Structure 1
Amino acid sequence: MDGAAPRGDEHDLGPDDAFPSRREVHGKERRPWRRRLVVALVLVLALGGAGAAWATWHLNANITKVDVSQAVGTDRPTQAPQARGAVNILLVGSDTREGDGNDAIGKVVEDPGQHSDTNLLVHLSKDRTWATVVSIPRDSMTKAPPECSPKAPKDQWVTRQWNHNYKIGGIGCLIRTLEGNTGVRVDHYAVVDFRGFQSMVDALDGVKVCTSEPIDDRESGLRLSAGTHTLKGKQALAYVRTRKSVGDGSDLGRIQRQQAFLSSIAQKATSSKLLFQPTALFGFLDAATKSLTTDPDFGLGTMKDLAESVRGIGLDKIEFVTVPNESYAPDPNRVQWQPSADVIWEAFREDHRLGEKPSASASPSPTASPLTVSPADVSVDVRNGAGVSGLASQAGAALEVQGFTVAGTGNGESRTGTLVEYSAGQEEAARTVAAAFPGATLEEATGLGKTVRVTLGAGSKNVVEVENRTGTQALPKQPVKAPTPAPTPTPTIEARAADADICSASS
């Protein structure tokens, strides 16, 4: 339980197939077939044209399902209203040597056990028009729950190497660590081992790679001249795992090669006639599902539904990025995330593409429709996150004259802008509160009960009248102003499109 996947995880994988609809398989679809194929980098495996009942049952039975909800815990992030419908899938590749096809890879003497050597978080947009895949370096040093405890509060978390979370507590611990450090909720997970990776590459009849320098790796036996090559199972696995003998020998360099490889898989899958051949497609899916471990809700049916919903995404709308990182001072062989990493996590939480500011319509407007809850029925807790004395109490007074009950005021976490938080079921009450704070962001939280919490940060606007206020007393003067936030340039996150030339950014 604790999330320990019986078979281990995949290795470098994340994506890998595209699945045509029944109409496409029979050639009756007029739209360009490339656009109509399901993008496999989500590793969302659908039955497609091989749709016999027996095949469906067989493929679904191949998948190992592990419930890790207890290991993940209950204090999980909630989706922002504008992101509801978006999907986040954690794809993990492990270095397990257990099981047929994995035991021939070779033992790791210095650090035995299963590790999540490849970690990909896939975000599928709410409108299913784009996807972003972020690679998390295996050597990242982040806060993590002690002994992978599902109940340990975050102020008790310890610093630990990323891929050891899986070793200690399995996929459940890895998900809890990811969610706690990013605020991004993981909806599903999928794990594939070495054997599964090799089988899927072989089912595609090999995948093309491009290397700018010769590779001679003694550990894996991989030898390649500079240039392009089509690699099959064992060679492909060796290529995506090779680290010390290529480039600077770092895991970061390996991530670049893995992203290029995944792009190549997506390109091969969407151009391969294999996807129009039911027998070959079934063989591919059979190979993939035999080495797949997922959460109980991520069975073949869910995968097929999700695959159908993303069939319109083109390769140019799929981007690969790596968590921005820097050397970890206590150990230069490890890395730590840079503050700019939150640009990625914020984009996932709020469902917008990297480098794009969400449009005004992306966030629900408090006044988009008539307010349905009277201020007299709302309890508000006001927090000052702007660092200016008196801001919270001033806002509280302006709320009270409109009929709100102010449960308390005080200091809150430093932030920019106004955040209105509410528990499930209190959406309409929160909308009434947010109407008093121009530009406020609404966000669901836990543990607030019927109280709505407002945190005022730098750049917050003073309280205004709401349309359904009670009483006629004028709002008190509000001389205290939140400071103007210092302009901070948005960090540039380098991204690789799935349709990019495989020889670009190669080793």
Structure 2
Amino acid sequence: MAGGVVVALTASIGIGVALHLDDNISRVDIAAGSTQRPDDVDGALNILVIGSDTREGLGTKEYGVGTAEGGPRSDTNLLVHISADRKSTYVVSIPRDSMTKAPTDCADPTSTVANGEVRRWNDNFNQGGPACTVKTLEGLTGIYVDHVAVIDFSGFQSMVDGLGGVEVCLPEAVDDEDAQISLEAGRQRLTGKEALGYVRMRKTLGDGSDLQRIKRQQAFMASMAQEATKTSLLLRPDRLYKFLDAATKSMTADDDLGLTKMMSIASSLKGLGTDEIVFVTVPTEPYAADVNRVQWREEAADELWAAVRDDSDLPGAEPKKKVKERALTVAPSDITVSVVNDTAATGLGTQEAEALQVQGFTASVADVAPTSDARGVVVRHAKGDTESARTVAAAYPGAKLVVDRTLTTGNVQVVLGMGAETASEVPNREGDEPLPSATVTAPPAPTAVESRTADEDICG
């Protein structure tokens, strides 16, 4: 859908307008102050979308004229993860009131999360702009941020109007003076101004918390995605232009996120349905020092970040359905396998090595200390040796294949993590000795995170 929007716009209005849209965007160096950044996973994309609470360009003082700290803050923080196979997208909401470690001085390369201070999440943007938010996120999660897009109040309002409004579903009537909004209960279409008040209000709907507001924002984004997929938008170049012109005029982005890059990303997502866009929130718990703040629930948050970092399934999600694989081309007897037991289950590595040995593999347990952060089964292989890895992975349906430049051709490593399944027979196994009975199992997979998909009924 998104690819069709951009292509239709370019074809209908022309290259000159496309260049104009590109020139609308303000630029920022998101790597400023960072000398050591995480590894960039090939193919996958992580885009940090920040909603700035600057009031400039609104043409009104209804929402105030500034912030208590002076300068804008990150009112909304979304990490959009696009999988390498373009079959799924995670939109992770980061509560703005989260208390986390952060670099004391983001502009100083020697100042890092590790030697930093604890502060509220949206103060990172206030103190150091997008680069500080990126440096903090990368330092906390080990996730490489490919791109950043900052949209302000004015841009959000204009984008909604560019779509012709967006539908919402209110459980009760609201009248919020601070948010400048008065709405009836039920399903209705909001203008840009009404939508801005709707996604920002906290005092008159729900429990007044930022977490409750995030749920409302996620439902609104789902509704926006549904609206954008309607063919009426594709058939109206004037509306397409109004939408993208509003977005780019109010956008600040990294140097590499121009219209050409946006078109490339959009084109790669043309087969992505709204049912494959998943909204989740970083798991949190109360922050003891201040009841008005939260902190990330360490284990659950780490599991979520690991899924994003490793481009794998969300915690507790059903594994993606695998397409029918082509025939295996490398025999088990031509492959040496080292098995790494990255769990606390004693004997799991030995059991799995034996299950591979009876099928013709030369298999042994690797002398590697567990890190206890692996998920499922990862099959590591030398560059260019995918066929050997495919034969090994056939014993573990759903296993993730990863290139490891330290390995040589014909040598494959199997890493067993939480939730790993035990070995099954590969189609081209050798010998007829039955696989030994599995008596050891990996610890269970992480608990599912609360989520919603973009195709869900907004009144559901």
TM, length-normalised to structure 2: 0.75
Q: Cα gap change, 1:62/1:455 in structure 2, threshold over 3 Å: closer, same or farther?
A: same
Are 1:352 and 2:309 matched, yes or no? no
One-letter amino acid of the counterpart of residue 61, structure 1: D
SS for the counterpart of 2:81 is: strand
1:55 corresponds to which of 10, 13, 17: 17
Residue aligning to 2:203: 244
Q: CA deviation at 1:485?
A: 5.1
Cα deviation 1:134-171 (Å, max 9, x = unaligned): 11111111222222244335531322211111111111
Q: Any conservation in 2 of the 1:116–1:163 contact (CA below 8 Å)? A: yes
Q: Equivalences for 1:260-271 in 2 at 5 Å?
A: 260-271=219-230
Q: Cα gap change, 1:238/1:368 in structure 2, threshold over 3 Å: closer, same or farther?
A: farther
Q: Any conservation in 2 of the 1:66–1:296 contact (CA below 8 Å)? A: yes
TM, length-normalised to structure 1: 0.69
In structure 2, distance between residues paired with 1:92 and 1:198: 15
Cα deviation 1:97-153 (Å, max 9, x = unaligned): 3x3227633135544332111011112222222222111111111222222244335
Q: CA deviation at 1:254?
A: 0.6
One-letter amino acid of the counterpart of residue 147, structure 1: D
Residue aligning to 1:304: 263
Q: Any conservation in 1 of the 2:10–2:18 contact (CA below 8 Å)? A: no
2:161 corresponds to which of 190, 193, 202: 202
Q: Cα gap change, 1:112/1:457 in structure 2, threshold over 3 Å: closer, same or farther?
A: same
Q: CA deviation at 1:486?
A: 4.1
Q: Equivalences for 1:35-434 in 2 at 5 Å?
A: 47-79=9-41, 84-97=42-55, 99-101=56-58, 104=61, 105-108=63-66, 110-148=68-106, 149-271=108-230, 273-338=232-297, 339-348=299-308, 349-352=310-313, 355-357=317-319, 413-415=371-373
In structure 2, distance between residues paired with 1:187 and 1:109: 29
Q: Cα gap change, 1:311/1:415 in structure 2, threshold over 3 Å: closer, same or farther?
A: closer
SS for the counterpart of 2:140 is: helix
Q: Any conservation in 2 of the 1:217–1:223 contact (CA below 8 Å)? A: yes
In structure 2, distance between residues paired with 1:426 and 1:151: 34
Q: Cα gap change, 1:57/1:214 in structure 2, threshold over 3 Å: closer, same or farther?
A: same
Q: Cα gap change, 1:312/1:183 in structure 2, threshold over 3 Å: closer, same or farther?
A: same
Q: Any conservation in 1 of the 2:113–2:140 contact (CA below 8 Å)? A: no
Q: Cα gap change, 1:326/1:315 in structure 2, threshold over 3 Å: closer, same or farther?
A: same
Q: Cα gap change, 1:66/1:262 in structure 2, threshold over 3 Å: closer, same or farther?
A: same
Q: Cα gap change, 1:231/1:387 in structure 2, threshold over 3 Å: closer, same or farther?
A: closer
In structure 2, distance between residues paired with 1:124 and 1:139: 25
Q: Cα gap change, 1:412/1:427 in structure 2, threshold over 3 Å: closer, same or farther?
A: farther
Structure 1: stretches of 5+ with no match in the other structure? 1-17, 22-37, 39-43, 376-381, 392-408, 462-482
In structure 2, distance between residues paired with 1:45 and 1:345: 33
In structure 1, distance between residues paired with 2:54 and 2:216: 21
Residue aligning to 2:436: none
Q: CA deviation at 1:326?
A: 1.3
SS for the counterpart of 1:77 is: coil
In structure 2, distance between residues paired with 1:426 and 1:460: 25
In structure 2, distance between residues paired with 1:370 and 1:156: 50
One-letter amino acid of the counterpart of residue 93, structure 1: G
Q: Any conservation in 1 of the 2:174–2:182 contact (CA below 8 Å)? A: yes
In structure 2, distance between residues paired with 1:253 and 1:95: 18
In structure 2, distance between residues paired with 1:191 and 1:78: 21
In structure 2, distance between residues paired with 1:427 and 1:361: 22
Q: Any conservation in 2 of the 1:385–1:455 contact (CA below 8 Å)? A: no
Residue aligning to 1:476: none
Q: Cα gap change, 1:144/1:445 in structure 2, threshold over 3 Å: closer, same or farther?
A: farther
One-letter amino acid of the counterpart of residue 21, structure 2: L
SS for the counterpart of 2:175 is: strand
Q: Any conservation in 2 of the 1:113–1:167 contact (CA below 8 Å)? A: yes
Cα deviation 1:277-298 (Å, max 9, x = unaligned): 2222212211111111111111
Q: Any conservation in 1 of the 2:8–2:237 contact (CA below 8 Å)? A: no
Cα deviation 1:48-82 (Å, max 9, x = unaligned): 44341211111111111222223343232332xxx
Cα deviation 1:445-503 (Å, max 9, x = unaligned): 99x9x9xx999989999xxxxxxxxxxxxxxxxxxxxx975446x31222212121112
In structure 2, distance between residues paired with 1:195 and 1:328: 33
Residue aligning to 1:24: none
2:450 corresponds to which of 494, 500, 503: 494
In structure 2, distance between residues paired with 1:136 and 1:93: 12
SS for the counterpart of 2:32 is: helix
Residue aligning to 1:471: none
